[in-house]
Amino acid sequence: MIWIAVYDISDDGERGWAASVLQAWGFVRVQRSLYVGRLQRGRAADLAAVLAKRVKTGHVALIPVTEELLLRALEVGTPPYAPLKPPRYVQTLLV
């Protein structure tokens, strides 16, 4: 399943840590606070639990999206980091 992770975190340290965790879990940064990744069934709850340990000043949402719906997404302009629809997302696990 593909997941979109989006956050609004005011504390610089927490925000940087959350970005590092998402990238360690194989998420790709699309915009400053928006990431896209692929997680196996049940792993989103594990990721949310990891994020909940340190994110206290903001909000993180993990949103499931089917591949079919993501392929239908409309984009305008050039993404600042990575395209919303790269060929495949690879998951790596934080150990």
3-state secondary structure of 43: helix
pLDDT digits (tens, 9 = 90+) for 17-52: 999 999 999 999 999 999 999 898 889 999 999 999
84, pLDDT greater than 80: no
Rg of the chain over CA atoms, in angstroms?
A: 13
The reported pLDDT for the residue numbered 78 is 81
Contact predicate 77/13, CB 8 Å? no
- Give the model confidence (pLDDT) of 4-24 as tens digits: 999 999 999 999 999 999 999
Q: What pLDDT does residue 56 have?
A: 94
Quick check: helix, strand or coil at residue 59? Answer: strand
Question: How many angstroms from the chain centroid is the CA of residue 72?
Answer: 19
State the pLDDT at residue 15: 97
Cβ burial, residue 5 (10 Å; 0-12/13-18/19+): buried
b/e per residue, 10-32, with b = 16+ CB within 10 A? eeeebbebbbebbeebbbbbbee
Check whether 92 has a pLDDT greater than 90. no
